[in-house]
Amino acid sequence: MRKLVSYTMVSLDGYHEGPNGELDWANVDAEYFEFANQQDASIDTLLFGRAGYEHMAAFWSVTQDSDPGITAFMNETPKVVVSQTLTEARWRNSTLVNGDLGEMVRELKSRPGGEIALFGSVKLTTSLLEMGLVDELRVMVNPVLLGDGVSLFASLNRRMRLELCRTTTFRSGNVLLTYRPLED
């Protein structure tokens, strides 16, 4: 069975975006791009909710000055978009799905292939965590305090225990925390 991993950035005070949806605080540099390219090598499918998809499509479907490997990866990798409201998914290599979320993700995980990654899409991540379908949480803590914003797991409806699998420290001050959800 394929592994479903969730990857998101968060400020030290626990926000994944600023109060007006800002994402301009992310602490990225050459070392981060090297990490991202290594992480991307094991991923062959991206999974998005509507909001995460719309944000990523707007950003990555135009030419970027960031790392060309990441830009190519984001545009070429097959994407599955979960939405009840979108009527089309125009970003290259995107497939729009709706229906029973748990059934759809279990079927996706049962296919042969590499890792399935949720980038951002925190509401979808939370729903899948509550269903027991997320195998790993990768949370990149950035050395910045936003003071206000949208909490990373604001939509979580229950307490969840996690096991810390590893930490990775970057020269920039970022710290990647990798957790495995534990059964209750």
Higher pLDDT pick, 64 / 78:
78
Edge-to-edge strand ranges of the sheet holding 94-97:
94-97, 79-82, 43-49, 115-119, 4-11, 136-142, 175-181, 162-169
Local confidence band at 58 (pLDDT 50, 70, 90 cut-offs): confident
Q: Give the residue with greater pLDDT, 79 vs 184.
A: 79
Report, as an integer, the average pLDDT of 159-164: 95
Higher-scoring residue by pLDDT: 113, 60: 113
Q: What CATH number did the domain enclosing 100 receive?
A: 3.40.430.10
Residue in the block written with tokens 């925190």: 122
Is residue 113 helix, strand or coil?
coil
Residue 104 pLDDT > 70: yes
- The pTM of this model reads 0.91
Does pLDDT of 70 surpass 80?
yes
The pLDDT-based confidence of 23 (bands split at 50, 70, 90) is confident
* Structural domain boundaries, residue 33: 4-181
16 CB neighbour count, 10 Å cutoff = 20
The total number of structural domains that make up the chain = 1
| Mean pLDDT, the chain, integer | 92
Whose CA is closest to 62, among 74, 47, 51?
74
Instruction: Give the type of residue at 130.
Output: E
pLDDT for 67 beyond 80:
no
Q: Which tokens in the block code for residue 162?
A: 């996690």
Average pLDDT over every residue of 130-151: 96
Report pLDDT digits (tens) over 36-54.
888 888 999 999 999 889 9
User: What was the pLDDT predicted at 96?
Assistant: 94
Give the H or E element holding residue 61.
none
Q: Is 63 a residue whose pLDDT tops 70?
A: no
Helix (H) or strand (E) holding 22: none
**CA 134, 125, 62, 70 torsion: positive or negative?**
negative
